[in-house]
Amino acid sequence: MEHLDRLEATSIYILREAYANFKSLCMLWSIGKDSTVLLWLARKAFFGHVPFPLVHVDTSFKIPEMITYRDQLTRDWRLNMVVGSNSSALAEKRTFPDGAVDRITCCQLLKTQALKDTLSGTGERRRFNHSSQQYEVDPSTEAYTGVIVGARADEEGSRSKERYFSPRNHQSEWDVGEQPPEFWNQYKTEFEPGTHVRIHPLLDWTELNIWEYIGREQIPTVSLYYNQGDGKRYRSLGCYPCTLPVDSESRTVDEIIAELKTGKFAHIAERSGRAQDAEDSGGLETLRREGYM
């Protein structure tokens, strides 16, 4: 088997194991390239149907094209789409763009806390209604304890400490030292009641693998990843006040693949355009320990 075929097969196996072993299961979709590849793999794993909800945490500061893309695929692929947010922090303007808090605190409020509340069923959730073609308040308080995430070990330091099946405690907090061993493709899927488990089917993929797979499968992505004529494109997507593009002439998937193969970004972190990462000396590990993706 070719390398991409092996990666695909492992990811599909992990997705099916997750579905078989976790009753309250969802998948996080950040709208970025990794989680979109993950969504594509889920549709492959279950023959065109995604049998669990897609969850997107909307900070209200995402680049507008990302939200347009999210809603278009939700309609086209008839996804069970759930959107969560920290409505109280937004209403009270306790955000970095409003000048009330620093970037890290803003992430803790609009991402970490919003995600925890969305997963626990205690926060505001809206679900896309395919009949009315609108988002409506989701009255369900179901808690999702199995959460599929598109994290890759090579993307950022704290993610390299994850496992395919990575347990969190009742508050979704992560103890890095308590990760189960995973030897010879044997995965632990049984945990004590109340444990939250993050599932990472893309853990061993690289940025290059992701783009090679996007090219091979012809997966639609947002145009933000490509140079639109100004010599810049995004490698990683986030909130517009805190995310910057990189210098690049790549206008197509094939050009991005060729660019990555040159080693141009070998010593430049994929998330280097994320301002909050630069401000947090621990990278994302602090946020991840508290319950972030």
Interval 70-102: pLDDT, tens: 999 999 999 999 999 999 999 999 999 999 999
Taking only the tens place, the pLDDT of each residue in 4-24 is 999 999 999 999 999 999 989
Strands 232-233, 246-247: pairing kind: antiparallel
Q: Quickly list DSSP for 229-290.
A: SSSEE-SS--BGGGB--EE----SHHHHHHHHHTTTTTTS-TTTTBHHHHH-TTTTHHHHHH
The structure's pTM equals 0.89
Task: Please report, as a single letter, which amino acid is at residue 270.
Answer: E
Percentage above 70 pLDDT, the chain: 89
CATH 3.40.50.620 segments of the chain: 3-205+281-290
Q: Tell me the per-residue pLDDT of 17-71, one tens digit each, with 9 for 90 and over.
A: 999 999 899 999 999 999 999 999 999 999 999 999 999 999 999 999 999 999 9
Confidence of residue 171 (pLDDT cuts 50, 70, 90): low
Q: What is the pLDDT of residue 280?
A: 52
| Percent of the chain scoring above 90 in pLDDT | 73
Whether the CB-CB separation of 53 and 86 falls below 8 Å is answered with no
Residues 138-157: tens digit of each pLDDT? 999 999 989 999 999 888 66
pLDDT of residue 283: 47
3-205+281-290: which CATH architecture?
Answer: 3-Layer(aba) Sandwich (3.40)
Q: What is the pLDDT of residue 117?
A: 93
> Which of 231, 185, 228 has its CA nearest to residue 204?
185
**211-261 confidence digits (pLDDT tens):** 999 999 999 999 999 999 999 999 999 999 999 999 999 999 999 999 999
| Cα-based angle 270, 271, 276 (whole degrees, multiple of 5) | 165
